[in-house]
Amino acid sequence: MRRIKDSRERRSQDQRENAPPLVYFPDLYFKPPHHPLLYGKPRQKRGYLTIGIPSVKRPNTERIYLYHTLDSILEKMPEVEHHQITIVVMVSDANRTYNNELSTSVYKRYKTFFDHGMIHVINTVDSIYPDLDNVKQTFNDSPSRLKWRAKQNIDFAFMMLYSRNLSEFYIQLEDDVIVATDFIQDIRNFIASTSKTWFLLEFSRLGFIGKLFRSSDLEFVSMYLLKHYDLAPCDLLLGAMRGERVQHKPIHAKYSLFQHIGRFSSLKNKLQPLSDNTFKDGLRIDMQLDMPTGDNPPAKIKTSLITYRDHIPKHAYDNDNATYFWAKTPSKDDHFTLNFEKPHNFSRILIATGAVGTRKDSFYHSSLLYSESTSSEASDNKSTCANRFLKLVDLTDGETDTKATGTVIPNNIKCLRLLAKRSIGNWIIIRNIQLIEYLRP
């Protein structure tokens, strides 16, 4: 009998190890001693809405957007709603030390809200993940992106399963968004006024942000994400989910209630300055690309762009945040070129274009090129740029930070050039160029 029992136990263990991730998750990880709650306390009664916020460390930056997100939610939420809203923050970075430090910091900063049961911080455990280094290839994504998006699907499923009994409704955010004025009341009004049969309501046009479900549907959503965790990114699975629940078209609120403010993606070496142009409170974005003061060595500036009034080219490079270069509509191959007096070695290059806050007049569809100095040119200290311009990096929505993108910068750079890859329909502002050298005085 013992052998039979041992055989059954081994077979059960094998089934668990070979099963899709989290199949046994509710039994194993939602009951003591494996409960994921780190800080906070469950309430006695279900509330109206749970706000789910997954959070991981963003590579190549020390900025933590999560505080801005929580501050925005608490600032825009009337106190009368506090007992009806639960905010679940899930820390799920691969670095457990980072998770512990962030969890403790969030608890100390918002302790009053934890004591009232309004904020929970939860943590995942390593054993819920399958081998993410061997995810099937789809969408021609890189191995790092495949791993990142597969883990994201599992993380989201984990958070939803935890949240399924907390409130009547559940809405998913990210840890780098701000919320609109009266967003809770707007959600209430939209739910009450939607007469169509629905499975999913959308309060943002971006990714998985602002997606609202009934809590009774969270187990279905979670298991769908787990079943297809390695098939597609979470936002691309939403249409198929809706189809299975007989909601054939998306149902969007008239205005987006959440605005993306993050510049650094949680995927390494990626800038993601996306914004939602239907945001209720307007296009103003308070968070900008971090722009440390650079060394900006002396350079001659040449450009084929047509300057507008007194917004002259040198204002893009003068370390004065109050000034900028403003040019009329660029055509393909128009350029803005810095020709240095001598070759330089840079450790980081940052470029910001477009108006502060609105990003209007950003230099879209542009690239940063460089020209190296040869040994003979370096010895002669020639002032002209070589004809051999090579691409260093494409700008993302008119911005770049080589630290964020993990771009390797060659040595002996004699010239840098911003180049229009094609004609665009808007004027452009080159607001700030910061060049940081390896050797500072």
CA distance linking residue 430 with residue 311, whole number of Å: 10
CATH class of 299-436: mainly beta
283: which DSSP letter?
Answer: S
Q: How many residues does the chain have?
A: 441
Q: What's this model's pTM, rounded to 2 decimal places?
A: 0.72
What are all long-range contacts of 79-82, with beta carbons under 8 Å and residues at least 24 apart?
81/48, 81/184, 82/113, 82/116, 82/118
Residue 327, helix vs strand vs coil: strand
Residue 414 DSSP SS3: strand
Q: What is the pLDDT of residues 202-261, one digit of tens each?
A: 999 888 899 999 999 999 999 999 989 888 888 899 999 999 999 989 999 999 999 888
What angle, 0 to 180 degrees and rounded to 10, lies between the N-to-C axes of helices 143-163 and 218-227? 160
What pLDDT, on the 0 to 100 scale, is given for residue 283?
Answer: 59
Distant-in-sequence, close-in-space partners of 423: CB < 8 Å, separation ≥ 6: 329, 330, 331, 332
Exposed/middle/buried for 66, CB within 10 Å: 0-12, 13-18, 19+? buried
pLDDT at residue 69, rounded to an integer: 95
Q: Where in the chain is the domain with CATH 3.90.550.10?
A: 2-260
| Strand-pair category, 47-55 with 85-91 | parallel
Task: For the chain, list residues with pLDDT below 50.
Answer: 1-18, 269, 286-287, 375, 377-379, 440-441
For the chain, give every residue range classified as CATH 2.60.120.260: 299-436
Architecture of the domain made up of 2-260: Alpha-Beta Complex (3.90)
How many other β-carbons are positioned within 10 Å of the β-carbon of residue 205? Answer: 18
